[in-house]
Amino acid sequence: MSFRHLIDFGDLSRQEWEELYARCAKIMDDPDAYMEGCRGRVQANLFYEPSTRTNFSFQTAMLRLGGKVFGFADPKSSSTAKGESLKDTIKMVSAYADVIVMRSPKEGAAKAASIYSETPVINAGDGGHMHPTQTLADLTTIQRYRGSIDDLNIGLCGDLKNGRTVHSLIKALAKFDNIRFYLIAPRELAVPEYMRAFMRERGMKFVEVTGLEPVIPMLDVLYMTRIQQERFSSPWEYEQVRGIYVLTRKKLERAKPDMMVLHPLPRVDEISVDVDDDPRAYYFEQARCGMYIRMALLMDLANQPHRIPGPVEIGATPRCSNPNCITQSEKYLPPLTKLVGGVECCAYCDKEL
């Protein structure tokens, strides 16, 4: 693999995805053959935000490969609570561990960590921005149970503004052929402009609609998402959209008999419990696939040699105005930018500058 950190799905080529999936499929078929895959390796799980699937599946992935895990699930138990910077935390932890798995409420936090880390950093979710290993779980499920990711009509439904899994999945599907997106969201929770710019730049086909039921019959995959209550600025705003989409067994009557229902989980009320036993419900299997594809990823990244990063420019004032961007709190970060659709954007959170 050519990538050292996994921050954004754009870090992987299609060929790298295919190699990763091929290893994952072998692990799924014979997990005992990989019990030594990370023997002697140590993984640090730094979770600044709650998690069930990502934290535990990364832990079990490393344990099943014969490695060890340490870390925290509550930053109050680390020196972050005393005011330690992200840079200092990462410099220390990357000296102790062979790979860092990091989740943060701040957009661009994993990218920032990768600048100072001597070991690979894996983005386990950064605010409402990206969640590339969830995308690995999503693609693994589609590939294994549909047989192909190409030629896909996919509906993304729910909170497309704050749903980081959606943003990562759109980026990943840019690498596949003949994908058509149905982006199903209320106007206030539509995809961010930087994602539209990304899709337009690549000539990707997408339509934005507000209703789920009219488009269900067209879909090969329906990807439901939770309304991300924790990312709203007020309880009142959340109440306006709470429960706006609920997939029920009744609604599935109009879907194709082989449509796959995916959800990154956790769910709140957007998929009714009566859907769970429908053969089209793949979301629990999707979470299981997530552990195996993370095993495949760790075999690459945790086995890389440590590499001390070179010095970087010290920032002064953040150029990015996104209040949730990591550059707002870690002001020493170098002021990195990139072009998306010809527009200059923050290289940490992707927002237009």
C-beta closer to ligand CP: residue 153 or 267? 267
The answer to whether residue 134 forms part of the interface with ligand CP (CB under 6 A) is yes
The answer to whether residue 54 forms part of the interface with ligand CP (CB under 6 A) is yes
C-beta closer to ligand CP: residue 96 or 284? 284
C-beta closer to ligand CP: residue 158 or 318? 158
The answer to whether residue 13 forms part of the interface with ligand CP (CB under 6 A) is no
Question: For ligand CP, which residue of 5, 23, 41, 53 counts as binding (CB under 6 A)?
Answer: 53
Burial 152-186 (b: 16+ CB within 10 A, else e): bbbbbbbbbbbbbbbbbbbbbbbbbeebbbbbbbb
Residue with tokens 């997990």: 31
The answer to whether residue 293 forms part of the interface with ligand CP (CB under 6 A) is no
The answer to whether residue 114 forms part of the interface with ligand CP (CB under 6 A) is no
| Interior angle at CA 283, CA 279 and CA 286, nearest 5 | 110
Q: Which stretch binds ligand CP (CB under 6 A): 18-26, 37-45, 65-73, 259-267?
A: 259-267
d(CA 198, CA 340): 6
d(CA 166, CA 178): 18
Q: Which stretch binds ligand CP (CB under 6 A): 46-54, 81-89, 191-199, 337-345?
A: 46-54
| Number of residues assigned to the chain | 353
The answer to whether residue 51 forms part of the interface with ligand CP (CB under 6 A) is yes
Q: Residue 188's closest CA among 224, 228, 149?
A: 228
The answer to whether residue 149 forms part of the interface with ligand CP (CB under 6 A) is no
The answer to whether residue 52 forms part of the interface with ligand CP (CB under 6 A) is yes
The answer to whether residue 144 forms part of the interface with ligand CP (CB under 6 A) is no
Question: For ligand CP, which residue of 40, 214, 217, 266 counts as binding (CB under 6 A)?
Answer: 266
8 Å CB contact between 252 and 275 = yes
Q: How many residues bind ligand CP (CB under 6 A)?
A: 9
Six-digit token string for 21: 């999936």
Where are the alpha helices (H) located in the chain, listed in sequence order? 14-29, 53-64, 86-96, 109-116, 132-146, 164-173, 193-201, 235-241, 249-252, 283-301
The answer to whether residue 265 forms part of the interface with ligand CP (CB under 6 A) is yes
Q: Residue 54 CB, nearest distance to ligand CP (Å)?
A: 3
Q: Which stretch binds ligand CP (CB under 6 A): 10-18, 262-270, 291-299, 310-318?
A: 262-270
The answer to whether residue 286 forms part of the interface with ligand CP (CB under 6 A) is no
Q: Residue 317's closest CA among 353, 288, 293, 287?
A: 353
8 Å CB contact between 306 and 333 = no
The gap between the terminal CA atoms of the chain, to the nearest Å, is 32
Q: Residue 214 CB, nearest distance to ligand CP (Å)?
A: 28
How far CA 33 is from CA of 191, 256, 295, in Å, comes to 42, 38, 12
- The HSE-up count of residue 208 (CA atoms within 13 Å, CB side) is 15
Residues 180-199 that bind ligand CP (CB under 6 A): none
The answer to whether residue 117 forms part of the interface with ligand CP (CB under 6 A) is no
The answer to whether residue 108 forms part of the interface with ligand CP (CB under 6 A) is no
| Interior angle at CA 218, CA 214 and CA 223, nearest 5 | 85
Q: Which stretch binds ligand CP (CB under 6 A): 48-56, 110-118, 171-179, 226-234?
A: 48-56
The answer to whether residue 225 forms part of the interface with ligand CP (CB under 6 A) is no
Q: Which stretch binds ligand CP (CB under 6 A): 50-58, 152-160, 220-228, 229-237?
A: 50-58
C-beta closer to ligand CP: residue 215 or 267? 267
Q: Which stretch binds ligand CP (CB under 6 A): 13-21, 45-53, 174-182, 303-311?
A: 45-53
d(CA 97, CA 42): 5
d(CA 143, CA 30): 18
Q: Residue 11 CB, nearest distance to ligand CP (Å)?
A: 18
Residues that bind ligand CP (CB under 6 A): 51-54, 125, 134, 264-266
